Structure 1
């Protein structure tokens, strides 16, 4: 750990707090979460504010994320080839299924929806892009986790299982069985696990090395998705097969 700069690391930790926190935070709360003195937090905030990574609300005197982060995030997406590559396929899948379609990527032990196209229906389910969530928590992320080595699965699940609805998985063993089923089927299908009344189905996107590069998921209200489950699943699987082949995957 000696090769890390503590000031840079603490700055990164401070910024990441805002991922799962209210829009604005004060020095006292940040000091408590970082377990640093208020003086040290003040210096971090002043430095980050000078570079545009943090902004202070003049009325509340609290802090929020700065616009430089938005510029960097957009740059990451712009340079992320898989987002551009997936766009026409995702748009086509939305056109054929009339439901929300998302592209999901793994980031260490989390998952992120990096892009989406919403359903054209006025009553629809939607998601927030660019937020990270556990790899076991959604149909799209479980597909990513299912194709990882068992040792990695155990590492992710050892951090604890969060439940979201009365129908969520509650143990690592339950999730491990579900992951095995995903690998056997080649796709995931679930209802009510993350949101009651919502059904999602997801399938893996393979690259030229045979690794899972991402997952594609179709999500919508259960009362609309379930009656046309088979048709939506056919469209999803056809789409990921085409995408995988375009990336050079040969089963």
Structure 2
């Protein structure tokens, strides 16, 4: 039984190492060890096993690791027919061209939101949105949408979570959720990071269930509150079109 636990723990650690690459294309042994909070000797052994199976590749010139060919072989066999991140990409690209700002698609996962698709703005100064990035559900325009339009238990779980920030007023957050539900969109200005702003709307499928949050983001000095109010109806119309494309 003890051997079984050790085996499962080794698998968990190996998966943690692979997940380090969700927001970085290449990482050193030291960087990976720091991210997964393990000794470098342990990480080195796990990386050797992953490299042997083709899941990571070590660049001898830089002594850094990157994802290997096995990852792409696995992803090639994913079922894409019902994947909103792929189905909605052309519409997101058209929206980016129309608004000239970065467009992102978020889904909730537990008490976090995950960016599952993004189309970068063509502007020189733009909001860079890495796919796979995780953010807390208690802050940001997309978070408000994902909570406001979710099932009631999602909101209750979030507000009751021990991880809820001590300095964040729950009554104020509930009010923001009510406003988002009433207006059909939510905004944020420098809530999560300085200099960034966003406006988000819900994508509801044909059964009127929440699928994702669709957001436009950019520098706050360009994406002003007035500009976000102008973008909101355009974003809502795009979300309505996208919702009809999803079962």
TM-score normalised by length of structure 2: 0.76
Contact 2:105-2:213 within 8 A present in 1 as well: yes
Structure 1 pair 42–232 and aligned structure 2 pair: CA distance change class (3 A): closer
Question: 2:16 corresponds to which residue?
Answer: 13
Residues 206-230 of structure 1 show CA distances to partners (whole Å, capped at 9, x for unaligned) of 1133221111111122333334333
Question: 1:95 corresponds to which residue?
Answer: 97
Q: What displacement does 1:19 show?
A: 5.0
Question: 1:197 corresponds to which residue?
Answer: 195
Structure 1 pair 184–53 and aligned structure 2 pair: CA distance change class (3 A): same
Report the number of matched residues.
241
Question: 1:229 corresponds to which residue?
Answer: 228
Aligned equivalents of 2:176 and 2:115: distance in 1?
21
User: Structure 1 residue 24 and structure 2 residue 23: aligned?
Assistant: no
1:68-147 aligned at under 5 Å gives the runs 68-69=70-71, 72=74, 76=78, 81-147=83-149
Q: What displacement does 1:203 show?
A: 0.5
Aligned equivalents of 2:168 and 2:211: distance in 1?
27
User: Pairwise CA RMSD of aligned residues?
Assistant: 3.7
Question: 1:166 corresponds to which residue?
Answer: none
Question: 1:55 corresponds to which residue?
Answer: 57
Aligned equivalents of 2:196 and 2:31: distance in 1?
39
Structure 2 unaligned runs (5+)?
Answer: none
Question: 1:178 corresponds to which residue?
Answer: 176
Structure 1 pair 183–64 and aligned structure 2 pair: CA distance change class (3 A): same
Q: What displacement does 1:83 show?
A: 2.4
Match of 1:160 among 137, 141, 163: 163
Contact 1:161-1:171 within 8 A present in 2 as well: no
Contact 1:89-1:239 within 8 A present in 2 as well: yes
Contact 2:111-2:158 within 8 A present in 1 as well: yes
Structure 1 pair 42–229 and aligned structure 2 pair: CA distance change class (3 A): closer
Aligned equivalents of 1:28 and 1:112: distance in 2?
21
Residues 181-233 of structure 1 show CA distances to partners (whole Å, capped at 9, x for unaligned) of 22222211121112333321111111133221111111122333334333311
Partner SS state of residue 237, structure 1 = helix
Structure 1 pair 10–139 and aligned structure 2 pair: CA distance change class (3 A): same
Residues 55-87 of structure 1 show CA distances to partners (whole Å, capped at 9, x for unaligned) of 345467665544533554576595663123212
